[in-house]
């Protein structure tokens, strides 16, 4: 393990045993990592969780707990779900824009004369660019 105490044992002000469950996942050079997790989940709960997991999954669990704790500190109500919702909304908006653009491309491919004559009639009209994009909304 690490020489000296891990970040968890330092935070909890206790001796770091050689078989410390926290030591591999909370190195002494990153004390904020454990502090965030302790603030949200508590040291005892995290220790129990890590002990119940197979050793090959513990690193991923510690990383996940840290990220979820950080988002919960930043947004106490929604936590990481708030970020997920925001990203889903952005995906929905971009998919809607893509569908509108594909519809406009399909329309222009089916009606090239209408689009060309409309462009020729509106040369020099500054409001035309706004009007053309509003056809498909």
> What does the pLDDT look like over 22-54, one tens digit per residue?
999 999 999 999 999 999 999 999 999 999 999
Q: Which residues contact 131 (CB under 8 A, 6 or more apart)?
A: 122
- Regarding pTM above 0.75, the answer is no
Tell me the residue range of the domain where 102 lies: 76-109
Asked if residue 81 and residue 14 are part of one domain, the reply reads no
Pair 34, 26: CB distance under 8 Å: yes
Asked if residue 3 and residue 49 are part of one domain, the reply reads yes
Asked if residue 63 and residue 3 are part of one domain, the reply reads yes
Asked if residue 33 and residue 7 are part of one domain, the reply reads yes
48: left (phi over 0), alpha (psi -120 to 50) or beta: alpha
Asked if residue 54 and residue 94 are part of one domain, the reply reads no
Asked if residue 51 and residue 9 are part of one domain, the reply reads yes
Asked if residue 64 and residue 5 are part of one domain, the reply reads yes
Asked if residue 103 and residue 84 are part of one domain, the reply reads yes
Q: Do the domain assignments include residue 122? A: no
The conformation of residue 136, written as its DSSP 8-state character, comes to T
Per residue in 66-114, pLDDT tens? 999 999 999 999 999 999 999 999 999 999 999 999 999 999 888 877 6
Q: Do the domain assignments include residue 13? A: yes
Asked if residue 39 and residue 61 are part of one domain, the reply reads yes
Structurally, the chain folds into a number of domains equal to 2
């Amino acid at each position: 393990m690490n020489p000296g105490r891990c970040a968890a044992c330092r935070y909890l002000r206790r001796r770091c045993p050689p078989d410390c469950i926290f030591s591999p996942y909370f190195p002494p050079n990153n004390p904020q990592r454990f502090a965030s997790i302790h603030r949200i989940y508590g040291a005892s709960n995290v220790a129990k969780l890590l002990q119940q997991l197979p050793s090959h999954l513990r690193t991923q669990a510690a990383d996940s707990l840290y990220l979820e704790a950080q988002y919960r500190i930043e947004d106490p109500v929604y936590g990481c779900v708030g970020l997920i919702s925001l990203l889903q909304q952005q995906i929905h908006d971009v998919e809607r824009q893509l569908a509108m653009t594909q519809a406009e491309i399909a329309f222009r491919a089916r009606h090239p004369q209408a689009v060309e004559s409309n462009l020729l009639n509106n040369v020099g009209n500054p409001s035309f660019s706004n009007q053309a994009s509003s056809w498909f909304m």
